[in-house]
């Protein structure tokens, strides 16, 4: 594989996805490592291209859109954004910076198209721009985010969310849940499967024998049951099972020390029990560079580690840095997986 074809879904048209895509694809570095293909709406992206071109008057090559119906028609050339236009946005009905059912439905259609192309081997990885969970629900979709939707589309039962940012990698056992539902959602098998998925996927990052640290749920890992019994009931048994399977695992480790130890190099990845446990330290270290990866899917998928940012949509101030990092990692993982399969 010389340069992997990366399918980039436009996300919520009323959000910052279109802006950061155009900004990211105005960078030559993206075309040196990948062949990007956007799946979205031409009218929306045309508006963003005009804004970007207006800001870069000294740039000799203006950004252009190349609408295609087949991959073979793509140019994959810097200065031209190749696009599969699903024509599912009516510009007149789109209010930038607002939750919109039309935009939510369109975003799901971009994802469905990308998954179809990836399953057929026409693209090598999927990169997703942000969608809005409230918009999804208002449009009639009951998924809590990209991860659950992708698992549904690929019929994947065992999956997990990994976040990569700077020197830190974290994997979540539970994702978008209220805190009062986390404990009852944990069990030995779920934690073990998350550890196993992490172990199996670390090779794509060049780590053959990863060291995995498992965070406790409670302060001081429960202090022998004084502050909670989840460690004894679920986490310790899951870690013991992983060790018996030959997985280099340590835990449960107190949540207030495990990330410090990971930064010192003791662990290649940290297993976290709930969303904010892993996301707070990661975003503190790499707020603009975080990448979300879905482990367990039959396709490679990465995503920006930020939301729709409606409050700045349409203002031209959104940073494309997370998307740039996301495309780079997608290309790296796609190449690594092709070598493994080969």
In this prediction, residue 60 has a pLDDT band, given cuts at 50, 70 and 90, of: very low
Question: Region 7-36: what's the mean pLDDT?
Answer: 96
Whole-angstrom distance, CA of residue 290 vs CA of residue 96:
25
Question: Region 313-333: what's the mean pLDDT?
Answer: 94
Condensed to tens digits (0 to 9), the pLDDT of residues 97-107 reads: 999 999 999 99
Determine whether 84 is exposed, middle or buried from the number of CB atoms within 10 Å of its CB (0-12, 13-18, 19+).
buried
- Under DSSP, is residue 279 helix (H, G, I), strand (E, B) or coil? helix
In this prediction, residue 142 has a pLDDT band, given cuts at 50, 70 and 90, of: confident
- Check for a shared fold between 1-156+299-342 and 159-296: yes
| Contacts by residues 336-339 (CB-CB < 8 Å, ≥ 24 positions apart) | 336/203, 336/204, 336/205, 336/206, 337/204, 337/300, 338/1, 338/4, 338/124
In this prediction, residue 141 has a pLDDT band, given cuts at 50, 70 and 90, of: confident
Condensed to tens digits (0 to 9), the pLDDT of residues 84-128 reads: 999 999 988 999 999 999 999 999 999 999 999 999 999 999 999
CATH 3.40.190.10 fits 1-156+299-342, yes or no: no
Question: Region 25-48: what's the mean pLDDT?
Answer: 95
pLDDT > 90: percent of the chain: 79
Q: What angle do CA 13, 296, 180 make, to 5 degrees?
A: 75
For the cut 60, the answer to whether the pLDDT of residue 216 exceeds it is yes
Domain boundaries, the chain: 1-156+299-342, 159-296
Lowest mean pLDDT segment, chosen from 169-178, 214-223, 248-257: 214-223
Q: pLDDT value at position 59?
A: 45
Question: Region 43-63: what's the mean pLDDT?
Answer: 76
Hey, what CATH topology would domain 159-296 get? Isopropylmalate Dehydrogenase (3.40.718)
Kindly state the helix (H) or strand (E) to which residue 258 belongs, with its residue range.
helix 258-263
Question: Region 160-181: what's the mean pLDDT?
Answer: 93
The count of other CB atoms within 10 Å of the CB of residue 121 is: 9
Q: pLDDT value at position 1?
A: 63
Condensed to tens digits (0 to 9), the pLDDT of residues 244-302 reads: 999 999 999 999 999 999 999 999 999 999 999 999 999 999 888 889 999 999 999 99
For the cut 70, the answer to whether the pLDDT of residue 331 exceeds it is yes
Tokens of 319: 């940073």
User: Distance between alpha carbon 151 and the CA centroid of its chain, in Å?
Assistant: 13
């Amino acid at each position: 594989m010389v340069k992997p074809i990366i399918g980039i879904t436009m996300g919520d048209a009323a959000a910052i996805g279109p802006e950061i895509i155009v900004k990211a694809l105005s960078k030559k570095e993206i075309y040196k490592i990948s062949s990007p293909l956007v799946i979205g709406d031409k009218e929306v992206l045309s508006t963003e291209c005009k804004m970007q071109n207006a800001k870069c008057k000294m740039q000799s090559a203006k950004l252009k859109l190349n609408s295609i119906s087949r991959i073979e028609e793509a140019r994959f050339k810097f200065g031209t954004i190749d696009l599969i236009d699903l024509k599912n946005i009516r510009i007149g009905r789109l209010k930038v910076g607002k939750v919109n059912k039309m935009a939510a439905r369109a975003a799901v259609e971009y994802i469905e198209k990308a998954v179809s192309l990836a399953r057929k081997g026409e693209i090598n990885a999927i990169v997703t721009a942000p969608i809005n969970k409230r918009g999804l629900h208002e449009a009639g979709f009951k998924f809590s985010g990209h991860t659950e939707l992708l698992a549904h589309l690929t019929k994947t039962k065992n999956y997990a969310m990994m976040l990569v940012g700077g020197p830190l990698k974290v994997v979540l056992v539970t994702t978008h849940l209220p805190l009062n539902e986390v404990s009852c959602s944990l069990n030995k098998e779920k934690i073990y499967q998350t550890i196993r998925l992490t172990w199996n996927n670390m090779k794509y990052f060049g780590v053959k024998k990863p060291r995995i640290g498992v965070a406790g749920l409670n302060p001081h890992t429960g202090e022998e049951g004084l502050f909670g019994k989840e460690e004894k009931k679920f986490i310790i048994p899951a870690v013991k099972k992983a060790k018996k399977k030959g997985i280099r695992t340590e835990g449960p480790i107190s949540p207030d020390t495990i990330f410090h130890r990971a930064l010192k190099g003791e662990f290649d990845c940290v297993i976290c029990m709930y969303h904010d446990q892993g996301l707070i330290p990661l975003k503190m270290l790499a707020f603009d560079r975080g990448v979300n990866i879905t482990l367990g899917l039959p396709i490679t998928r990465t995503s920006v580690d930020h939301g729709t940012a409606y409050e700045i949509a349409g203002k031209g101030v959104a940073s494309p840095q997370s998307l740039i990092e996301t495309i780079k990692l997608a290309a790296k993982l796609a190449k690594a997986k092709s070598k493994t399969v080969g």
